[in-house]
A and B are shown apart, each in its own frame.
Chain A
Amino acid sequence: MTLNRKIAPEFGSITEFAFLPADISTTRSGVPCYFINGGNEDVIKIDFIFDAGSKRQDKTCLATATNSLLMEGTMKHSALELSDKLDSLGAFVQNSCSADDAVISLYSLNKHVIKCLELISEVINEASIPEKELYTYTNTQASRLRINQKKTDYLCKRAFHSALFGANHPYGRSANPEDYLNLHRKEIQTFFEENYSAVGLKIICSGKITEEIRRYFNQLYFRNERAQKKLPYFYLNPDSRKKHFIPHSESIQSSIRIGKRMFDRTHEDYRPMQLLNLILGGYFGSRLMKNIREEKGLTYGIFSSLESFRGDGVFYVATDVNNDSRTSAVNEIYNEIERLKQEPIPKKELEIAKNYFLGAFLRGLDGAFLQSEKTKILIDHNLKKEYYLGLFKIIKDVDSENLIYLANKHLDVENFYEIICGLQ
């Protein structure tokens, strides 16, 4: 029988997925630990999640500076001694800080994890924030920021957030180089003492978890002497002007960002909106990619995104195009949104989008480390583990009528902000 290459092989739809629910225990300091056991390799990832995001700072850059400077020395070890020990154990430590939280992530070989944990708990309990390390840190950050401030996409992004939330809101705020240079050691020390303790700390441990490691966690000690301050109330202060142009005298391309404030993932429409977002600009086969890249060749890339913070969120479309194509790109973005509101999504297109979505969901659960990211989402938003089963079902069931309804309900372009950064 000759092979007929014009006919696609049969394929099946995705009918199940495996989300490993975390096994939870508590350390003697009362810190909840979530264990996700899995994988063939002798490696482990541990996230220490602190309620120490920039929402808690009263000065710009304070939270992120604290999160980074933690690793630069303790009462017992200098920055060099500490990093030398961690490097010698083959560990990787990642620090990240958002408006909502601050995380220290440790990646370690199983055989060295206890030694690494000793060092990380030392950091959490008694970081010393040396003055000379503060200088290096602020100087490096200020220099990086000066580079970013030359980039159209960076300028566009920060103007977008500032317009949506107001420049003093945690989701709207961005730093200037001076903000780093104005930080004082004392403030960082205080921020550290107030916000890095057992209070509000959560730990997620994923990878190959042995009994020995579990036992070690149970006896981990974290300082608990100070109560955290109450979170201040943040007033939204959105810009009344919806369209902003940021001139950039040296740009070859313009960056465009169009969108609005949305909701977080606990909103009932969040999950079906993830599919609508995918169809519009969430994957390579999206309408925006097809239209603006694959049919018109105006850009290297265009995408839309639905981002969830805690209690808030944003939706936007972003791209980079030639300075003289920006008007047509903007028009096409609005055209594509309008089509979602007017025309039902063809059956085949909807099927592709759903299958792609579920395939991506499977890939996002492949391995203990990725599962731990999904667990963090549940913890962040106080969601039950059934959330993902619900997501699976919602994606399978949603139809084109639901999607038209959602597009009309949430993609109200008259309330969209439009930021362009490029040549005047």
Chain B
Amino acid sequence: MIHFSEFTLNNGLKVIHHRDESTPLVVMNILYKVGARNEAPNKTGFAHLFEHLMFGGSINIPEYDRPLQLAGGENNAFTNNDITNYYLTLPAQNIETGFWLESDRMLSLAFSNDSLEIQRSVVIEEFKQRYLNQPYGDVWLKLRPLAYKVHPYRWPTIGKEIAHIENATLNDVKAFFKNHYCPNNAIMCVAGNITLERVKKLSEKWFGPIPPQPVKLIELPAEPAQEKERKKTVSSSKVPADALYMAFHSPGRRDSEYYAADLLTDILSRGRSSRLLNSLVKEQKLFSEIGAYITGDVDPGLIVIEGKVNQGVSSKNAKMGIRRELNKLMSELVSENELNKVKTKVESTIVFGEMGILNKGMALCYATFLGNTNLVNEELDLYQNVSSADIKQTAIDFLDETNCSTLNYLTEKA
């Protein structure tokens, strides 16, 4: 159970407070409702590039990191399809430094050309290091455009191609800031050893004067239902084993079927007793390893099953093995025991997730973003309410062959 209070400033900034007196620290988490989904198809990778620029100095403060480190703090950020999330931790007595730094960069960035040039090269190196210089590192560059045809989820957060990052201009940066970075498009959580009164006072003082901005929300095209299986094969000498990635359109994070879909992937691959490991790795020896998960995006996401195919096994046979397991879920009810097992696992994950104030701060902001801050406390029940029949129905609704995009890596001699 996470106790919290919420209030909204006049400029629209939503603030959540959670008190934990067992820690000497305070966390500040700020979620901006902007992600790769808000990018134009010819300017992808921009939300993430922009996240880097948020550390290049703001209107009144030339450097972000130094004053934070001087006060004993640490920070980082991440961007995904739906949001950009910034977080910092400070010793409780120094938390005002966080309010000062975060409010100034919400007010305005410095927009320096040098910063853009440097972060452009850093992000290009990141693109190479994480997506191109690793075996299977390019999987999302290939799988997304196969699974999505119209929705912006068809490109990964890093961007479709390096050229988009190379072509970003300072005007693009300014326009992006203006459209998305303002108090009425953000959610802040302050968690740790701090009173509600102090959070209110400091929020008013530092964030209160920031004017709201009109946020242009462009209606995103819904991805049309997929009608037949899509396949792509990549032959490469960079990969040492054949691999299969099967992606099925799934419920979005706010859909009621999401919880059944999440449990369904747990049944397939969570823990050493899960189905895919025991059936396809241990018994049938089709894969050397295999996993299943749901992406949890706000708009309909993907259920992904990915495995490394054993040497001497054809990808066709390996895929048939997966298909048999999926068909079982579509035709047979999961036993109460098995269902309870994955539910207990969810329960421990939630409880363990409440261990640190940073986790709690992030979870609270994300729940607010989803529309209900108290989801952090209600979700366990939503999982508990899923029945075996729900799991079967979800499998029928989403795991059909026609809903699948299959990416197959084949090794090639160099």
Interface residues of A (CB under 8 A from B): 3, 5-6, 8-14, 17-18, 38-43, 71, 79-80, 83-84, 86-92, 107-109, 132-133, 135-136, 139-140, 142-144, 146-147, 149-152, 249-253, 283-285, 293-301, 320-322, 351-353, 355-356, 358-360, 362-363, 366-367, 369
- Decide: A252 and B20 in contact? CB cutoff 8 A: no
CB neighbours (8 Å) of A320 from chain B are: 125, 129, 133
30 contacts between A and B (CB under 8 A): A5-B59, A11-B71, A11-B97, A12-B91, A41-B355, A43-B348, A80-B278, A86-B271, A86-B272, A87-B274, A87-B341, A87-B342, A107-B352, A109-B348, A144-B288, A147-B240, A151-B133, A250-B237, A253-B128, A295-B118, A297-B118, A297-B121, A299-B122, A322-B128, A352-B70, A353-B69, A355-B71, A356-B69, A358-B72, A359-B89
CB neighbours (8 Å) of B278 from chain A are: 80
The verdict on B61 contacting chain A, using a C-beta distance below 8 Å, is yes
Other A-B pairs beyond A87-B272, A87-B341, A140-B281, 5, CB < 8 Å: A14-B91, A43-B352, A139-B310, A299-B125, A356-B69
CB neighbours (8 Å) of B22 from chain A are: 38-40, 367
Known: A11-B97, A14-B91, A253-B133. A83 touches B351 (CB 8 A): no
Docked Cα-Cα span, A37 to B368, in Å, equals 33
- Decide: A285 and B96 in contact? CB cutoff 8 A: no
CB neighbours (8 Å) of A136 from chain B are: 281-282, 285
CB neighbours (8 Å) of A293 from chain B are: 122
- Decide: B341 and A367 in contact? CB cutoff 8 A: no
Docked Cα-Cα span, A150 to B308, in Å, equals 15
CB neighbours (8 Å) of B206 from chain A are: 3
Cross-chain contact of A39 among B97, B272, B341, B355 (Cβ < 8 A): B355
- Decide: B97 and A300 in contact? CB cutoff 8 A: no
- Decide: B125 and A12 in contact? CB cutoff 8 A: no
Residues 321-355 (chain B) with a chain A CB within 8 angstroms: 337, 340-342, 344-345, 347-348, 351-352, 354-355
Known: A90-B347, A298-B121. A11 touches B241 (CB 8 A): no
CB neighbours (8 Å) of A296 from chain B are: 118
- Decide: B354 and A283 in contact? CB cutoff 8 A: no
Docked Cα-Cα span, A276 to B128, in Å, equals 30
- Decide: A363 and B348 in contact? CB cutoff 8 A: no
- Decide: A298 and B125 in contact? CB cutoff 8 A: yes
CB neighbours (8 Å) of A362 from chain B are: 24-25, 72, 91
- Decide: A5 and B61 in contact? CB cutoff 8 A: yes
Cross-chain contact of A83 among B272, B354, B357 (Cβ < 8 A): B272
Docked Cα-Cα span, A92 to B345, in Å, equals 9
Of all chain B residues, the one with the shortest Cβ separation from A81 is B273
CB neighbours (8 Å) of A366 from chain B are: 23-25, 356-357
The verdict on B289 contacting chain A, using a C-beta distance below 8 Å, is yes
Of all chain B residues, the one with the shortest Cβ separation from A320 is B129
The verdict on B200 contacting chain A, using a C-beta distance below 8 Å, is no
The verdict on B235 contacting chain A, using a C-beta distance below 8 Å, is no
A-B contact count (CB 8 A): 217
- Decide: B122 and A88 in contact? CB cutoff 8 A: no
Docked Cα-Cα span, A149 to B241, in Å, equals 12
The verdict on B100 contacting chain A, using a C-beta distance below 8 Å, is yes
The verdict on B404 contacting chain A, using a C-beta distance below 8 Å, is no
The verdict on B385 contacting chain A, using a C-beta distance below 8 Å, is no
The verdict on B195 contacting chain A, using a C-beta distance below 8 Å, is no
Docked Cα-Cα span, A293 to B66, in Å, equals 16
Of all chain B residues, the one with the shortest Cβ separation from A295 is B118
Docked Cα-Cα span, A360 to B91, in Å, equals 10
Docked Cα-Cα span, A40 to B355, in Å, equals 8
- Decide: B351 and A41 in contact? CB cutoff 8 A: yes
**Contact size range, B:** 35 or more
The 8 closest A-B CB pairs, nearest first, are: A359-B72, A297-B121, A83-B272, A143-B288, A90-B348, A9-B96, A87-B271, A83-B273
CB neighbours (8 Å) of B229 from chain A are: none
Known: A152-B133, A322-B128. A249 touches B122 (CB 8 A): no
Docked Cα-Cα span, A366 to B25, in Å, equals 8
Of all chain B residues, the one with the shortest Cβ separation from A89 is B344
Docked Cα-Cα span, A299 to B206, in Å, equals 35
How distant is B277 from chain A, measured CB to nearest CB, in Å?
Answer: 9
Docked Cα-Cα span, A43 to B348, in Å, equals 9
Judged by DSSP, the binding face of A is mixed
Of all chain B residues, the one with the shortest Cβ separation from A13 is B72
- Decide: B241 and A283 in contact? CB cutoff 8 A: no
The verdict on B141 contacting chain A, using a C-beta distance below 8 Å, is no
The verdict on B209 contacting chain A, using a C-beta distance below 8 Å, is yes
- Decide: A300 and B129 in contact? CB cutoff 8 A: yes
CB neighbours (8 Å) of B119 from chain A are: 297
The verdict on B139 contacting chain A, using a C-beta distance below 8 Å, is no
How distant is A147 from chain B, measured CB to nearest CB, in Å?
Answer: 5
Interface residues of B (CB under 8 A from A): 20, 22-25, 59-61, 65-67, 69-74, 89-91, 93-94, 96-97, 99-100, 103-104, 107, 117-123, 125-126, 128-130, 132-136, 205-206, 209, 237-241, 270-274, 278, 281-282, 285, 288-289, 308, 310, 337, 340-342, 344-345, 347-348, 351-352, 354-357, 414
How distant is B402 from chain A, measured CB to nearest CB, in Å?
Answer: 31
- Decide: A146 and B241 in contact? CB cutoff 8 A: yes
Known: A144-B289, A252-B128. A42 touches B351 (CB 8 A): yes
CB neighbours (8 Å) of B72 from chain A are: 11, 13-14, 355-356, 358-359, 362
- Decide: B94 and A12 in contact? CB cutoff 8 A: yes
CB neighbours (8 Å) of B355 from chain A are: 39, 41, 43, 367, 369
CB neighbours (8 Å) of B117 from chain A are: 297
Q: Which interface residue of B281, B289, B310, B357 has the most chain A CB atoms within 10 A?
A: B289
How distant is A89 from chain B, measured CB to nearest CB, in Å?
Answer: 7
Known: A150-B238, A251-B133. A3 touches B25 (CB 8 A): no
Known: A88-B340, A355-B70. A9 touches B121 (CB 8 A): no
Docked Cα-Cα span, A8 to B341, in Å, equals 52
Q: Which interface residue of A5, A6, A294 has the most chain B CB atoms within 10 A?
A: A5
Known: A8-B100, A71-B272. A297 touches B135 (CB 8 A): no
- Decide: A18 and B24 in contact? CB cutoff 8 A: yes
CB neighbours (8 Å) of B356 from chain A are: 366-367
How distant is A32 from chain B, measured CB to nearest CB, in Å?
Answer: 25
CB neighbours (8 Å) of A353 from chain B are: 69
Docked Cα-Cα span, A135 to B310, in Å, equals 12
- Decide: A252 and B132 in contact? CB cutoff 8 A: yes
- Decide: A363 and B128 in contact? CB cutoff 8 A: no
How distant is B273 from chain A, measured CB to nearest CB, in Å?
Answer: 4
CB neighbours (8 Å) of A250 from chain B are: 237-238, 414
How distant is B219 from chain A, measured CB to nearest CB, in Å?
Answer: 35
CB neighbours (8 Å) of A143 from chain B are: 240-241, 288-289, 308, 310
CB neighbours (8 Å) of A5 from chain B are: 59-61, 100, 103-104, 107
Docked Cα-Cα span, A322 to B129, in Å, equals 9
Docked Cα-Cα span, A47 to B352, in Å, equals 16
Known: A140-B281, A252-B128, A297-B117. A84 touches B273 (CB 8 A): yes
Docked Cα-Cα span, A84 to B123, in Å, equals 43
Docked Cα-Cα span, A158 to B121, in Å, equals 28
Docked Cα-Cα span, A66 to B414, in Å, equals 35
- Decide: A40 and B20 in contact? CB cutoff 8 A: yes
CB neighbours (8 Å) of A321 from chain B are: 125
